[in-house]
A and B are shown apart, each in its own frame.
Chain A
């Protein structure tokens, strides 16, 4: 082998070794920092909330889902209704995160069940969330927990060999999340008095709604892998005897049939509350921030109506029996 080629290979090896060392250092610092992230009543962005819902929450009632949970379930109002119903002081946490759909939510539910048995789990989903359209990869946003949370690892490994390969890199696991470390600095994290609820102020006009509806595309059919994960998550809750209720919250003029979701819940013996196409909400565009998201006014109406639909189900749950 020529001297030049030998030198090239040597430089390549030194480069690889330096990169591996840096990668290991980032992994160690990242895992250490995750353990130091602020705790429960703190909200400083989706990563902190994800860490809390995956690894820490011990709330009696946890609501899991996407932005439609974060913006739709008024935690204090729900807690108030549940407390009055059960005659107890229950802790309620809204664990909804923007852009985290069914796969990510199923992973969060399974993670919660691994270490804690809540008195009630509420999962928000609708039929469109069962189709892939790239949302199956929402779980990649939990990549920093790959080495420390075995449920997250299982979900990520199931994405395929490419995901498994990418997870070998700590640098990649921490991709675009390194600034989260700033929240470990005392005084940096913001208090979250709303226990996970994120109110929206914007009010949609009828013209906005019309424009948005015109640009909506028909969702793809349900994806077998997402459906499989959803069913596995329901089975995990049943196996641990943790009551779980699936709910579809309203969208504006949303007319999609929830057939698959309904039959999955029925097969698992899990109650399903379908409020997705509720006509009352169609008459009030001012309750929405956009066609998929309720604003604070709409969320308060929805939370009250939801509780009325939940009440008969609570009657059959022993821990809520009066």
Chain B
């Protein structure tokens, strides 16, 4: 069930209404759990078994890890069992074919002809998100950061909470679990806030991401027939598409949760106004970046190791990030590119100090488009379907200008107006003071903004039932 579908338009109000009418918290939690499984099973009922498996394994291992306090070997054994089962499922469904194809290619390159079997199974929606969330919980229990959850229903809801189940944010147990134990009464201000967030998220998805996608897909799905100009424009539009698709989802997720009284972590903070790649990663997909920092980068030693090892840690973390996104060398290259950017940035900071990144506002403003260009360059690898296609795109952008792919005027009006509104809001959020129209102190302005935004979505949004990009991860 997509957030931008008629089904969700009916499902969500019904769930919220029943949730608040149920009264007792235990009933509410059980109901939310059932609703979340119903939501997920709309895609492929059989894959609910995978979430259930992940839930049962991490919940039991969490309890066993806690009960093994004092016996470090036993404790570590349960942790490893939990990680092995969860990452094993993830590997089997997401990476097996990629691994098999890569081995086959390697063997072929070595002159050995061998048939490596492929599974060709359908990737379960959101598997990377809920696996990381569940694994994070087990590690937190192991580290003693949180207590193991006794109530299975509460824990099962933590893993499968429908607003953030399929595309995050990847929540931390210490933030979300306590919220499920509390009783939430209906708070109109929170509900209004949640609905506004959902409206803005829908705008990002329907009026920017899906509109831009029409041009991006037409060009990127047929790279040999397009010149550098079209590919450059398509890459810039893709930067907005992927941002609005994912941030839009996160907004709808946070809004849906807020309407019921839950607070999810902020996943995006105007990332395209970053003045460095380091800052970009503090503003882009925050829940994944912080997860990788806490569970990969810091255990590797973080920056409290010799300098070269620190750089290697950065590179490894970003390779993991790339691989998390998808089972394709293009994602690995995307991660490696970001890792390389950070390595260069970190080295420049170390050797040139503040001179490398002056803090004067005028210089910072000039660094923003540079950072955006570097991010866009990396998006080429993220969007292309193979490394050779990505290289062809780069070659054409820098070597063959060509003519701009013609499309209708209404597309340009819709997409550019959408991007303009998005940038205005981001600029206001990042640099401005005072509330935006949807949060104006004047009720009439708030109402006009909400009606106007809804009408805009319906009039100019793209409703081709396009799934969110991050569902595939």
Contacts and interface: CB of A to CB of B under 8 A. Distances in A.
A205 to B, nearest CB: 10
Interface stretch (B93-101, B117-125, B264-272, B452-460): B452-460
Given A178-B460, A179-B409, A179-B410, A208 B225 contact: yes
Nearest to A8: B188
Interface residues of B, number: 27
A45 B225 CA distance: 24
Contacts of B7: 162
- Give the interface centre of B187, B224, B455, B458 by most chain A CB atoms within 10 Å: B458
Contacts of A206: none
- Give the interface centre of A5, A22, A162, A176 by most chain B CB atoms within 10 Å: A176
A4 B455 contact: no
A5 B447 contact: no
Given A166-B6, A169-B458, A208 B224 contact: yes
Given A8-B192, A208-B225, A175 B186 contact: no
Interface in B410-466: 410, 413-414, 443, 447, 450-451, 454-455, 458-463
A255 interface: no
Contact of A4 (B188, B414, B454, B460): B188
B188 A7 contact: yes
B189 A4 contact: yes
A22 B455 contact: yes
Given A174-B459, A175-B461, A15 B410 contact: no
B42 interface: no
A171 B451 contact: no
B458 A14 contact: no
Given A172-B458, A175-B459, A208-B225, A15 B451 contact: yes
Contact of A178 (B443, B454, B459, B463): B459
Contacts, number: 59
Nearest to B446: A11
A162 B224 CA distance: 38
B191 interface: yes
B451 A5 contact: no
A26 to B, nearest CB: 7
Contacts of B450: 15
A162 B6 contact: yes
Contact of A176 (B188, B189, B414, B443): B414
A321 interface: no
Given A166-B6, A178-B459, A8 B410 contact: no
Nearest to B206: A175
B408 interface: yes
A19 interface: yes
A14 B460 CA distance: 23
Contacts of B224: 208, 211
Contacts of B414: 176
B192 A171 contact: no
Contacts of B413: 179
- Give the interface centre of A26, A166, A179 by most chain B CB atoms within 10 Å: A179
Contact of B455 (A14, A19, A162, A208): A19
Nearest to A211: B224
A162 B186 CA distance: 30
A210 B413 CA distance: 36
Nearest to B462: A176
Nearest to A180: B410
A241 interface: no
B410 A5 contact: no
A18 interface: yes
Contacts of A7: 188
B447 A11 contact: yes
Contact of B188 (A5, A26, A166, A208): A5
Contacts of B462: 176
Interface string A157-176: 00000100110010110111
A180 B450 CA distance: 25
Contacts of A176: 410, 414, 459-462
Nearest to B458: A171
Contacts of B459: 26, 171, 174-176, 178
A254 to B, nearest CB: 19
A26 B189 CA distance: 31
A19 B451 contact: yes
B447 A18 contact: yes
A165 B460 contact: no
Contacts of B6: 162, 165-166
A178 B456 CA distance: 11
Given A162-B7, A208-B225, 4 more contacts: A8-B191, A171-B458, A172-B463, A178-B460
Top 10 nearest A-B pairs (CB, nearest first) are A8-B188, A171-B458, A179-B410, A162-B6, A18-B451, A4-B188, A172-B458, A171-B459, A19-B451, A5-B188
24 contacts: A4-B189, A5-B188, A8-B191, A8-B192, A11-B447, A15-B447, A15-B450, A18-B451, A19-B454, A22-B451, A26-B459, A162-B7, A165-B6, A169-B458, A171-B458, A171-B459, A172-B458, A172-B463, A174-B459, A175-B460, A176-B410, A177-B410, A179-B409, A179-B410
Interface of A: 4-5, 7-8, 11, 14-15, 18-19, 22-23, 26, 45, 162, 165-166, 169, 171-172, 174-180, 208, 211
